[in-house]
Amino acid sequence: MNVFSAIPIELFSILASPNKMVYSDALFVLYDAFAENFNIPRETLFTMLRNRLENALVYVSFEDEGIDEEEAQDLSGKARFLIRKLKEKGWIDIERDNDFLEYIIIPDYSIRIIELLKSIADGERSSGFSYVYDTYSSLKLANEDENAGAYEKMMALSSARDKTEAMSKSLKRVNHNINGYVQKLIDNDNINEILSVHYDDFYQKIIQEHIQPLKIKDSIPKYKNPICKILDAWLVSEDIIEAMARAAAAEYRCGSHEEYRHRIISSIFYIKESYETIESEYLGKIDEKVRKYTRATTKKIEYLTNTDRTVQGNLVYLLNAIAVSKDDDLTCEFETVFDLYRQEYLSENSLYHSKRAQRRVKQDPVLIDEPDNEIGAAVKEEFNGIINSPYSDLKVAEYMERMFGDSPVVFTDDMDIQDDHAYILSLLAVLHGNDKGTFYKPEFMGGSINQGKYNVPKIRFEREGGR
């Protein structure tokens, strides 16, 4: 979709004109009029523009923008020209009421754009950061409230997805914003400004506002499992899914039952997958960027603190460089400009050279003869027992590789469990399913099945990455 099919083509032209500062202030005055009045009489906006922009309108010239000669003579004429210009470019419209008074009408796109510009100009911080807790509380209430039906569950799921998407977008903005702070650090050589940016800006807007809440107050580890548990319970209940799909179809009436059913299931999987990966894919990478930025800030402050940037400091640096230089021609060039000469003396460092580090050369490993004693033998025996255990992590991984074969998914129905050895391996596979580094994830389907003489729960194992 083309953006200019929704807004006028020349809407932003006033913000690219030589008088863009006056026009941007006029838009903020327009927004204040919108906030203070239910209906905005044209005379009210005219008065606000003339009074609030008085200093700017005195010196501004609209000669190249089509202002009438009479309007250009005083503040009132320039204020009337601003209103006419805003209407001409599409920021406002004007309607005449039954009482023949003119009222300002602000289109929806104008309000939204001005709000965005105002928030950027004011540097507004987000109010609150409760994406995770809001998601948990809405799902918990819909799941446990006896009076909550399919409609409440459907709305809670929709709200949870919106909150999860908002959290993801917020962390992506944080990731990109850190690069801006790094560039400011590179361009800035003032220690006080660097400290101010780091503590008053970076620490408050990045650390306190976004990162700390997700680890302490609005903790992902704290609420992740309860959120996924509720979603799993809904996912395995065919009755709940069907009821939510019917409620969505009755509420929105713009799609088929199957479309809403697919949307509900995809929303559940989206939320679950987001909470499974957001710590490693988002917070982990952001933490690494924060550490690098903090180290760079510390090193630059140390450098600027220990370096004399005055004229005297530069002369000292220059003289020290000449003193240690072995280039006699360079010294001779300075002697033609300054009355300088080289002075040498003996010191405690004059009679020896500092040892230079040598590059280590890779050698053949040295064999160490271990004493053959009872303790060493016992340790070896225990170690070999762990390595060769039929139920080690390696054996469990090999067992699951055999069960998967070339398939990305395997169910307990498909697993051949005919003896105690296979039964124990299947139990260990479930226990290790959520360990870090495991190549598969288990998902309980509800119910149980008989595998030979063993009764095992219905479980779906999915290989990470779909393969």
Contacts of 107 (CB under 8 A, 6+ apart): 90, 91, 92, 93
This prediction has a pTM of 0.49
**Dihedral of CA 403/408/411/414: which sign?**
negative
List domains and CATH numbers for the chain.
3-122 (1.10.10.10), 131-306 (no CATH), 309-347 (no CATH), 386-466 (no CATH)
User: Looking at residue 311, what is its pLDDT?
Assistant: 64
Q: Which residues in the chain land under pLDDT 70?
A: 1, 123-129, 208, 307-313, 316, 326-328, 330-331, 334-335, 337-345, 347-357, 368-388, 465-467
Contact present, 456 and 466 (Cβ < 8 Å) = no
**pLDDT, tens only, 268-317:** 999 999 888 888 788 888 888 888 888 888 888 887 777 656 666 677 67
Contact present, 331 and 342 (Cβ < 8 Å) = yes
User: Looking at residue 398, what is its pLDDT?
Assistant: 86
User: Looking at residue 92, what is its pLDDT?
Assistant: 87
Q: Find, among 252, 14, 221, the residue nearest to 136 by Cα.
A: 221
Q: How confident is the prediction for the chain on average, in pLDDT?
A: 80
User: Looking at residue 128, what is its pLDDT?
Assistant: 44
User: Looking at residue 233, what is its pLDDT?
Assistant: 92
Q: Is 373 left (phi over 0), alpha (psi -120 to 50) or beta?
A: beta
